[in-house]
Amino acid sequence: MEKIPKKGDIIYLESACYMDSPFRDITGGKARIQSVEEVNGNYWVVLEGFPTSKYSWAHLSEMQEYLRGQFGDSWAQKG
């Protein structure tokens, strides 16, 4: 796993589609970290613009290079 990110860092978020709640869909891209929480040795990030969701840093850290190639300079957004 990469180093633990900190508040203000910019990371990449993957796209997500929710069949039961399309208003929660996310188009992936860059996102700024609002906060980082450690729970039982696992790190979770909350991202600006997506304050009601927590994302596993263990999962996202492994995907950063791929997501950077996929999204480039685009910013993540709802919908």
Q: According to DSSP H, which parts of 1-79 are helical? A: 57-71
* Predicted local confidence at residue 15, as pLDDT: 86
In angstroms, the Cα distances linking 25 to 5, 6, 37, 47 are: 24, 25, 23, 15
Residue 41 C-alpha from the chain's centroid: 18
pLDDT means per 10 residues, the chain with 79 residues, are 87 83 77 97 94 93 97 92
Question: ∠28-26-23 over CA atoms, to 5°?
Answer: 170
| C-beta separation of 77 from 27 below 8 A | yes
